[in-house]
Amino acid sequence: MHKKDRYLLIIMLAMMSVIGLMSSDIYLPAFTFYLSYTIIACSAYGAYFAYLAVSSSIFNKLNFKPDWVGFFYISVALTYISGNLLAKKLTKTIIIDKALLIGIIPFTIGGLIMLILSLDGITNPLEIIIPMSILTFGNGFLLPLGVAGAVSVFPNLAGTASGFMGLLQLGAASLAAMITGYISSEEVFFMALIIFITNIIGGLALLIVHLIKINDQRTIKIALFTDK
C-alpha cells in the first residue's frame, strides 16, 4: 500500500469515527468531554514519544554506550507502573477527574524540571532520567484514566469512541516524535520544550473538563431554584 493510500485510509477511518460519535443525541456537550479526555491521554503519549524519539541519541552524545543506555529506561517503566497501580487504587475512593488532577501534577512538574535543567546544559543523564521518571509516574494516571473517561462518555458507542481515540493517540505520538526529531538536533532543550508543551496542553484539557462540570452544576442549581 502506497503512503497516499495509507493516509486516505486513516482520514476515512477518522471521518467514520467522528460521524458515528456525532450521531449521538448528546453530541455537543458529550463530544467536548470526549475530546478533552482524549487530549489528556494524547498529551501523555506525545510527551513519552517525544522523549523516546531523541533521548537515546542524547545519551550517546553524552558518551554513554548503547549497552548502558538501555538501563536508563528502567526507571521510566517502573514509575509508570507505580502510577498505574496507585491510580487504580485511588479510583476506588475518588472520581476519575480528581485522580487525573493528581496525575497531571507530577506530569507537569517533571516536564518543567527537565526544561529548567536543560537551560544550563545537561552533563549528567540523571538530569534527564529523574524528571522523566517523575513525568511518567503522572502518565500512569493520565493514560488509563483518560481513556476510561473518554470511553465512558459514549457507553453505547464504546467501540467507535475507543477506536477514534486510539487513532488520535497514535497520531499525537507520531507528531510529537516527528517534530522532536526534526528540530531537536540531539539538544535536550528542544526535547524538553516540546515535552513541556504537551504538559501544558494536558493541563488545559483537564481544566476544560472541570470548567464544563462547574458550569453544568451551576445550571442545575439555577434550574432547581427557578422551579421553586
Look up the pTM and report it. 0.81
Number of independent structural domains in the chain: 1
Torsion-angle region of 94 (φ positive above 0: left; ψ -120 to 50: alpha; else: beta):
beta
Per-residue pLDDT of the chain (228 residues; tens, 9 = 90+): 554 444 444 454 555 555 454 554 445 567 778 888 999 999 999 999 999 999 988 998 888 888 888 889 999 999 999 999 999 999 989 989 999 999 999 999 999 999 999 998 888 999 999 999 999 999 999 999 998 888 887 777 777 777 778 888 888 888 898 898 888 767 899 999 999 999 999 999 999 888 887 776 554 343 334 444
Pair 178, 52: CB distance under 8 Å: no
How far apart CA 166 and CA 38 sit, in angstroms, is 9
Domain holding 66: CATH number?
A: 1.20.1250.20
Give start and end residues of each alpha helix (H) in the chain: 3-22, 27-61, 66-69, 74-90, 96-119, 126-153, 158-184, 188-227
pLDDT for the residue numbered 184: 74
Residue by residue, what is the 3-state secondary structure of 11-49?
HHHHHHHHHHHHCCCCHHHHHHHHHHHHHHHHHHHHHHH
Domain with 189 in it? 3-227
